[in-house]
C-alpha cells in the first residue's frame, strides 16, 4: 500500500528499509561486477589481445560455447516435450517427476561431477558397456556434455511449463476443430504461444552453461586444450598467477552475461506488450 | 446436416455430467441448450464436437455414426466461451486458419476471409490482433473463424457469456440473422433463458445431465413438462401442498384442483405473470413490497397463513390502482400447474421425453379463465 503512494511520501522507517535493500544489492550484486570490469579495463587492451592469441584461452572459450549450444538444443527440445507431458498429461508418477526436475538446482555441481564419475568413470557402473563401445566419457568431451546437460536441465522445462499452464488448451482445441492435425496444432499454435517462455528458458540455459564450473571440473579434469572450459581457464590462470589472462576471460564472460540479461528484459517487455 | 445423439452418458469421477441423453437436431435448425450451470449442456456440446469422449452412447451425423471421427475430421465449427482466438495471429490469419490447414490456396483463402469479415461487420479490422478488439468484435471473429471452413454444424458454447448485456443483445440479433442467411445446423449453449427463447428455433432444457424438455419456445413456455422446467423458465411461485376437497390450499389462497385425488401430494407452480392482485380490504393477503423494474412492477405479498407470493404487472396496469405497501389484496391465479411432488428434483426417469411423455407432463394444468377479468 505504502509503495503506491509514491516516492515522495516515504516515512523515515520506509526510507531506512529502501536504503538497506539498495546497500545490500550494491554490496552483493553490483560491487563485484564493477570491481571485475574496472580491473579488466584498467589493465588496458593488451592482455585481452594476448588472451585472444592464446590457443588455450581460445580453445576454452570455443569449448564453452559448443557446450552451451548443445545444452540449448538438447534441453530446449527435452524441455518443450517434458513440459507438454508434465502439464497436459495426468499420470501416476507425475508428482515424483515434477520434484525430480528441480534436482539439478538443489544438488551441488561438484557432487554432480562426482556422481557422473561413479557411473562412467573407472570401475563405474557403465564402464564395461563404454569399453565395448570404445567410448571415453570421463576426462573427455562427452563427460562435459553430460555434466552441462544435467545442470541446465530444469530451466527450459520450468519456463515452458509455466507458460503452458497459464495458456490452457482452448486455442489448441479451436485449432483442432478447424481441422488442424496434432503436428499443425503444435507448430502453428502451441509453439508460437510458448515462444517467450522458451526464449527465457534458453537464455537461462545459456547463462548457466557459460558459467558452469564445478561439475565440468570434476568430470573433465581440467585438461588444457581438451576439457578446459572458459571458467576452468580463469581458475587455472588465477592459480598460475596469470591474472591479466584471468581478468580478460572473465570480462568476456561478464559481457556475455550482460547481453543475456538484456535479452531477458527484452523478452519480458515483448511478453507484456502482447498480453 | 442433421445430428442425432443417443443414450449419451459421461461421468467425471463420481459426478454424472451427462445422464443418458438422447436428442435430435434437424438439418438447418438453430437449437438452444438451456439449463443452470453445471447441468451438463456444455459437455454434450463438446462430445458432439469430439472434444470430449462419451463413456457410452453415440453421436450420429446425418444418420452416420461419428464416434470414431477425430474432432479435426468432424467438420464442426466450434465457438468457445472465451473466444480462444489465436493471440499471435491477426484477425485475418485467425479467420483463414481453418482454410490454411486444409490446404486451400491463398487467393481463394483471401477472398473467403474478405467475404466473412464483411458478413460479420469486421471490415478493416483484418490486420488487427485479438488484443486490440472489443469483446463483441472478438466474438464475431471467433464466429467468422468457425464458419470459414464451411462447417456442416456450428456449435457455440455460451457464446455471449463474456460480453456485457448491451453487446450480448446485439450479438443475439447477429446470430439469429446470421443463421437465417447461412442456414447451417447450429446448437448453442446458454444459461440465459431469455437468450435461448429469443434466438432459437427450438429449445432443449437440460438439468443434472438430463434432457428435461425439448420444444419450440412457446411450447415450453405454455406447457412445461416438468416442475423443473416450470420453475426454471420464467419466474414462478412454487408451493408444496396437498389436495383436499378438490382444492390445494396455500395459506388462505385456495386453488382449484378438480380431478386430483384427495390427499395427493403436489407441487403447485404459479408464474409471476399468471396472477391477478387487486386492492380489497376483505382480501386474503397483505402487500409487503412493491419494486419497480423498468416497465414492470413486482409485488410481494404475504398470504394470510404466512406464505409469500410474488406477482408482476405492467407498470400502467389498472390492477395496481390504489395498491401500496401494507394494503390488503385479493389474489386470483389465472394459470396454475400441478406436478407430482418432487418430480423436479430429478426423480422423473426422463431420458427421451418423446418416449415417455406421460411421466413428464404436469398432472393438472388449470387455466382458471372463468375467473379472469
Task: Reply yes or no on whether the pLDDT at A185 is more than 70.
Answer: yes
Picking from A170, A179, A274, the nearest residue to B102 by CB comes out as A179
Residue A7's pLDDT is 56
Reported confidence tier of residue B230, pLDDT bands at 50, 70, 90? confident
The reported pLDDT for the residue numbered A38 is 87
Interface test with A, best of B74, B80, B81, B84 (most A CBs within 10 A): B84
A136: left (phi over 0), alpha (psi -120 to 50) or beta: beta
Nearest residue in chain B measured CA to CA from A180? B101
Which of A167, A177, A272 would best serve as a mutation to test chain B binding (most B beta carbons within 10 A)?
A177
Q: Is the pLDDT of residue B99 over 60?
A: yes
Statement: residue A249 has pLDDT above 80: yes
**pLDDT at residue A106 tops 80:** yes
- pLDDT, average across residues B132-159: 92
Phi (first) and psi of residue B308, to 5 degrees: -85, 145
Cα radius of gyration (chain B) = 24
What does the pLDDT read at residue B294? 84
Q: Which residues of chain A make contact with B98, given a CB cutoff of 8 A?
A: 178-179
Q: In whole numbers, what is the pLDDT of chain A averaged over residues?
A: 89
Enter the pTM of the model. Answer: 0.79
Q: Which domains does chain B have, with CATH numbers?
A: 3-222 (3.40.50.300), 236-340 (no CATH)
User: Taking CB atoms and an 8 Å cutoff, what residues of chain B touch A176?
Assistant: 51, 70-72
Secondary structure class of A265 (helix, strand, coil): helix
CA distance A174 to chain B (A): 7
CB-CB neighbours of B204 under 10 Å = 25
What is the percentage of chain B residues whose pLDDT exceeds 70? 91
| Domain parsing of chain A, residue ranges | 32-274
pLDDT value, residue B119: 87
Inter-chain CB proximity B101 and A184 less than 8 Å: yes
Pick the CATH number of A32-274 from 1.10.287.110, 1.20.200.10, 3.40.718.10, 1.10.3720.10: 1.10.3720.10
Q: In chain A, which residue's Cα lies nearest the Cα of B131? A: A275
**Is a pLDDT exceeding 70 seen at residue A97?**
yes
Distance CA B189, CA B42 (A): 6
Set of cell numbers at residue A105: 538446482
Instruction: Kindly give the residue spans of alpha helices, DSSP state H, lying in B223-342.
Output: 227-232
Q: Shortest CB distance from B72 goes to which of A179, A192, A275?
A: A179
> Is the reported ipTM for this assembly greater than 0.90?
no
Whole-number Å distance between alpha carbons of A263 and A251: 18
pLDDT of residue A46: 81
Q: Residue A132 pLDDT > 80, yes or no?
A: yes
Q: How many CB pairs under 8 A join A and B?
A: 67
Quick check: A180 and B85 CB within 8 A? no
Say if the Cβ atoms of A174 and B72 lie within 8 Å: no
Nearest-by-Cβ selection for A193 from B71, B88, B131 = B88
Cβ distance B86 to A184 less than 8 Å, yes or no, reads no
- The reply to whether B82 touches chain A by the CB within 8 Å rule is yes
CA quadruple A80, A86, A89, A92: dihedral sign: positive
Over residues B54-72, the pLDDT tens digits come to 999 999 999 999 999 999 9
Q: Which residues of A touch B97 (CB under 8 A)?
A: 175, 178, 180, 188
Helix A243-274 to helix A45-53 angle, to the nearest 10 degrees? 90
Q: By CA distance, what is A191's nearest residue in B?
A: B88
* B320 has pLDDT over 90: no
User: Minimal Cα distance from A177: which residue of B?
Assistant: B72
Cβ separation A179–B77 shorter than 8 A: no
- pLDDT > 90? residue A194: yes
Task: Using an 8 Å CB-CB cutoff, list chain B residues near A181.
Answer: 72, 101
Task: Provide the shortest C-alpha distance from residue B160 to chain A (in Å).
Answer: 16
Q: Which A-chain residues 156-195 have CB contacts (< 8 A) with chain B? A: 170-171, 173-181, 184, 188-189, 192-193
Q: For A184, which residue in chain B has the nearest alpha carbon?
A: B101
Q: Taking the alpha carbons of B363, B365, B368, B369 in that order, is the dihedral positive or negative?
A: negative
| Contact residues on chain B for A274, CB-CB shorter than 8 A | 87-88, 131
Identify the bridge partners of residue B236 per DSSP, sorted by sequence position: B271
**pLDDT above 90 (res B261):** no
Evaluate if residue A10 carries a pLDDT over 90. no
Query: Would you call B72 an interface residue with chain A, using a CB distance cutoff of 8 Å?
Result: yes
Cβ–Cβ below 8 Å for B101 and A274:
no
Q: Does A274 touch chain B (CB under 8 A)?
A: yes
Say how far apart CA B337 and CA B275 lie, in whole Å.
12
Q: Indicate if the pLDDT at residue B345 is higher than 80.
A: no
Does B73 touch chain A if contact means CB atoms closer than 8 Å?
A: yes
Would you state the torsion angle of the CA atoms of residues A48, A52, A56, A59, taken in this order, to the nearest 10 degrees? 130
Q: Convert A106-157 into a string of H (helix), E (strand) and C (coil).
A: HCCHHHHHHHHHHHHCCCCCCHHHHHHHCCCCCCCHHHHHHHHHHHHHHHHH
- pLDDT at residue B356, as a whole number: 36
> How many CA within 13 A on the CB side of residue A31?
7
In this model, does residue B350 exceed pLDDT 50? no
pLDDT at B346 over 50: no
Interface touch A178/B101, C-beta < 8 Å: yes
Averaged pLDDT for residues A21-33: 92
- The partner residue sitting opposite B72, judged by closest CB among A171, A181, A275, is A181
Q: Grade residue B43 by pLDDT with cuts at 50, 70 and 90.
A: very high
Q: What is the distance, to the nearest Å, from the Cα of residue B104 to the centroid of all Cα atoms in its chain?
A: 37
Q: Does residue B355 surpass a pLDDT of 80?
A: no
Give the whole-angstrom CA distance, residue B59 versus residue B48: 6
Where is average pLDDT lowest: A145-154, B38-47, B329-338? Answer: B329-338
pLDDT at residue B367 in the model? 57
Taking the CA of residue A186 and the nearest CA in chain B, the distance in Å comes to 12
Is residue A8 scored above 70 in pLDDT? no
Chain B residues lying within 8 Å of A189, measured CB to CB: 86
B235/B308 Cα distance (integer angstroms): 14
pLDDT at B212: 92
The residues, ordered by sequence, that sit 6+ positions from B99 with a Cβ below 8 Å of its Cβ are: B108, B109, B112, B113, B148, B149
Answer whether residue B363 shows pLDDT above 80.
no
pLDDT of B348 above 80: no
Query: Can you give the pLDDT at residue B365?
Result: 65
Q: Are A152 and A205 in contact (CB under 8 A)?
A: yes
Contacts of B156 in chain A (CB under 8 A): none
Taking an 8 Å cut-off on Cβ atoms, the answer to whether B131 and A274 are in contact is yes
What's the average model confidence in pLDDT over B18-40? 93
B282-305 pLDDT, tens digit per residue, is 889 999 999 998 888 999 999 998
Q: Which of B51, B80, B86 sits opposite A189 (nearest CB)?
A: B86
Amino acid at each position: 500500500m505504502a509503495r503506491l503512494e509514491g516516492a515522495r511520501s516515504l516515512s523515515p522507517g520506509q526510507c531506512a528499509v529502501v536504503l538497506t535493500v539498495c546497500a545490500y544489492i550494491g554490496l552483493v550484486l553490483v560491487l563485484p561486477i564493477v570491481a571485475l570490469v574496472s580491473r579488466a579495463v584498467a589493465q588496458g587492451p593488451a592482455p585481452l589481445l594476448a588472451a585472444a592469441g592464446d590457443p588455450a584461452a581460445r580453445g576454452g572459450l570455443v569449448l564453452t560455447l559448443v557446450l552451451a549450444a548443445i545444452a540449448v538444443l538438447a534441453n530446449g527440445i527435452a524441455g518443450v516435450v517434458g513440459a507438454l507431458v508434465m502439464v497436459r498429461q495426468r499420470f501416476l508418477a507425475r508428482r515424483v517427476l515434477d520434484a525430480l526436475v528441480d534436482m539439478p538446482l538443489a544438488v551441488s555441481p561438484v557432487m554432480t561431477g562426482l556422481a557422473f564419475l561413479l557411473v562412467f568413470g573407472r570401475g563405474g557402473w557403465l564402464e564395461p558397456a563404454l569399453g565395448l563401445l570404445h567410448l571415453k566419457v570421463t576426462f573427455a568431451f562427452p563427460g562435459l556434455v553430460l555434466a552441462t546437460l544435467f545442470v541446465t536441465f530444469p530451466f527450459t522445462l520450468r519456463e515452458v511449463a509455466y507458460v503452458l499452464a497459464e495458456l490452457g488448451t482452448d486455442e489448441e482445441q479451436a485449432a483442432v476443430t478447424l481441422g488442424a492435425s496434432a503436428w499443425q496444432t503444435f507448430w502453428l499454435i502451441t509453439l508460437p504461444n510458448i515462444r517467450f517462455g522458451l526464449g527465457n528458458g534458453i537464455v537461462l540455459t545459456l547463462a548457466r552453461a557459460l558459467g558452469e564450473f564445478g561439475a565440468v571440473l570434476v568430470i573433465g579434469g581440467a585438461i588444457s586444450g581438451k576439457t578446459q572450459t572458459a571458467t576452468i581457464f580463469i581458475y587455472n590462470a588465477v592459480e598460475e598467477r596469470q591474472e591479466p589472462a584471468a581478468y580478460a576471460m572473465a570480462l568476456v564472460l561478464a559481457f556475455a552475461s550482460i547481453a543475456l540479461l538484456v535479452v531477458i528484459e527484452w523478452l519480458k517487455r515483448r511478453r507484456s506488450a502482447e498480453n | 446436416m442433421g445430428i442425432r445423439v443417443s443414450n449419451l452418458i459421461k461421468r467425471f469421477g463420481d459426478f454424472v455430467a451427462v445422464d443418458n441423453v438422447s436428442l435430435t437436431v434437424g438439418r438447418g435448425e438453430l437449437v438452444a441448450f438451456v439449463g443452470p450451470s453445471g447441468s451438463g449442456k456444455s459437455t454434450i456440446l463438446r462430445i458432439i464436437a469430439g472434444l470430449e469422449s462419451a463413456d457410452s452412447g453415440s453421436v450420429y451425423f446425418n444418420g452416420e455414426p461419428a464416434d470414431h471421427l477425430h474432432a479435426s475430421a468432424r467438420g464442426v465449427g466450434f465457438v468457445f466461451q472465451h473466444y480462444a482466438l489465436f493471440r499471435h495471429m491477426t484477425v485475418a490469419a485467425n479467420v483463414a486458419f481453418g482454410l490454411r490447414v486444409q490446404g486451400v490456396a491463398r487467393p481463394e483463402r483471401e477472398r473467403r476471409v474478405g467475404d466473412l469479415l464483411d458478413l460479420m461487420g469486421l471490415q478493416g479490422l483484418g490486420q488487427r490482433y485479438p488484443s486490440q478488439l472489443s469483446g463483441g468484435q472478438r466474438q464475431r471473429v471467433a464466429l467468422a473463424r468457425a464458419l470459414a471452413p464451411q462447417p456442416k454444424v456450428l456449435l457455440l458454447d455460451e457464446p455471449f457469456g463474456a460480453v456485457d448485456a448491451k453487446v450480448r443483445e446485439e450479438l443475439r440479433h447477429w446470430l439469429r440473422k446470421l443463421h437465417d442467411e447461412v442456414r447451417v445446423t447450429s446448437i448453442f449453449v446458454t444459461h440465459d433463458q431469455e437468450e435461448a427463447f429469443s434466438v432459437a428455433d427450438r429449445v432443449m432444457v437440460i438439468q443434472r445431465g438430463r434432457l428435461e424438455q425439448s420444444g419450440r419456445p412457446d411450447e415450453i413456455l405454455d406447457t412445461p413438462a416438468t416442475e423443473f422446467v416450470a420453475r426454471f423458465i420464467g419466474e414462478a411461485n412454487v408451493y408444496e401442498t396437498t389436495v383436499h376437497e378438490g382444492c390445494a390450499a396455500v395459506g388462505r389462497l385456495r386453488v382449484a384442483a378438480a380431478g386430483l385425488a384427495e390427499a395427493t401430494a403436489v407441487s403447485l407452480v404459479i408464474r409471476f405473470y399468471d396472477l391477478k392482485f387487486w386492492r380489497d380490504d376483505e382480501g386474503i393477503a397483505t402487500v409487503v413490497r412493491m419494486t419497480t423494474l423498468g416497465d414492470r412492477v413486482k409485488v410481494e405479498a404475504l398470504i394470510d397463513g404466512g406464505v409469500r407470493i410474488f406477482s408482476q404487472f405492467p407498470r400502467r396496469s389498472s390492477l395496481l390502482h390504489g395498491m401500496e405497501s401494507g394494503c390488503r389484496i385479493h389474489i386470483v391465479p389465472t394459470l396454475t400447474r400441478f406436478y407430482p411432488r418432487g418430480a423436479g428434483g430429478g426423480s422423473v426417469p426422463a431420458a427421451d421425453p418423446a418416449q415417455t411423455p406421460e411421466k413428464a407432463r404436469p398432472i393438472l394444468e388449470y387455466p382458471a379463465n372463468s375467473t379472469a377479468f
